[in-house]
Amino acid sequence: MIQRMRLQPEAIGSGLTSQRVRDRLVERLREAGIRDERVLNAIRTVPRHLFVDEALAMRAYEDTALPIGHGQTISQPWVVAKMTEALLEDGMPGKVLEIGTGSGYQAAILAALGLEVHTVERIGELLRTARKRFRQLGLNVRSKHDDGRIGWPENGPFDAIIVTAAAPALVDALTDQLAVGGTLIAPVGASSSQSLLKLRKDADGNISQHTLAPVVFVPLLSGMID
């Protein structure tokens, strides 16, 4: 179920941000091994050019990470697609927690899929901009300005957790907030060698994990800034 978005003329785009350019990105992702049609459809629907600075809008449909200020980046579309696909492959989660809202693009993709999205960001200014985008597109996303390493315990447990910044090791507070049968996707490792991990929690609370792909993410940092 793709959530309906309020698409204003600037969301529909023209030239280098048009639907045709978006469709081409989807074809590239398909060629790069993304198979889940629900995920490809969400990428086709969400206007990524609205999640970057206007000066970068014409590069929004390249399969590349782009700067969003404060030394942070909007993830590469293939990474967003891969993480989202991994999150859905064992059944559709209801409630999802994202750590690292950044531009808001990953959260928008999850919301477009009809999931109940909760997202946490430590940089206030990025979060305020992301909230404007959610509002502009009519997407229902709950968000919090906080250090995401503590998760969002009042709203847990979550059927799925997606971490979009890399930590040297898995964060216990987050695995604790994962529901039984839930899936957690997170990049883990030193800045020079990170792996995208997929974890599952079974009925006894045991965690199993496997590696999806080598990745490069900005670091998961402590504390919050305005």
Task: Report the C-alpha gap between 168 and 117 in whole angstroms.
Answer: 25
Enumerate residues 6+ apart whose C-beta is below 8 A from 55.
none
In contact, 127 and 148? CB cutoff 8 Å: no
| Binding characters for ligand SAH, 38-77, by CB under 6 A (x = yes) | ----------------------------------xxxx--
Enumerate residues 6+ apart whose C-beta is below 8 A from 204.
none
The DSSP bridge pattern shows strands 95-99 and 116-121 to be: parallel
99 binds ligand SAH (CB under 6 A): yes
103 binds ligand SAH (CB under 6 A): yes
Which of these segments, 88-96, 175-183, 185-193, 215-223, binds ligand SAH (CB under 6 A)? 215-223
The active-site residue, picked from 14, 18, 75, 103, is: 75
Task: Report the C-alpha gap between 81 and 181 in whole angstroms.
Answer: 22
DSSP state of 140: -
174 binds ligand SAH (CB under 6 A): no
Q: How far is the CB of 208 from ligand SAH (least distance, A)?
A: 25
SS3 112: helix
The DSSP bridge pattern shows strands 95-99 and 72-74 to be: unpaired
149 binds ligand SAH (CB under 6 A): yes
Which of these segments, 12-20, 21-29, 94-102, 172-180, binds ligand SAH (CB under 6 A)? 94-102
The DSSP bridge pattern shows strands 158-163 and 141-145 to be: unpaired
Give the pair of three-digit tokens for residue 195: 């792996």
Q: How far is the CB of 206 from ligand SAH (least distance, A)?
A: 26
- The verdict on whether 75 is a catalytic residue reads yes
**CB-wise, 71 or 138, nearer to ligand SAH?**
71
Q: How far is the CB of 223 from ligand SAH (least distance, A)?
A: 8
Which of these segments, 2-10, 36-44, 153-161, 217-225, binds ligand SAH (CB under 6 A)? 217-225
Dihedral (C-alpha) 169, 88, 182, 74: value to the nearest 10 degrees? 40
Q: Tell me which residues are annotated as active site.
A: 75
Q: Which residues contribute to the site for ligand SAH (CB under 6 A)?
A: 72-75, 99-100, 102-103, 105-106, 120-123, 126, 147-149, 164-165, 218, 220-221
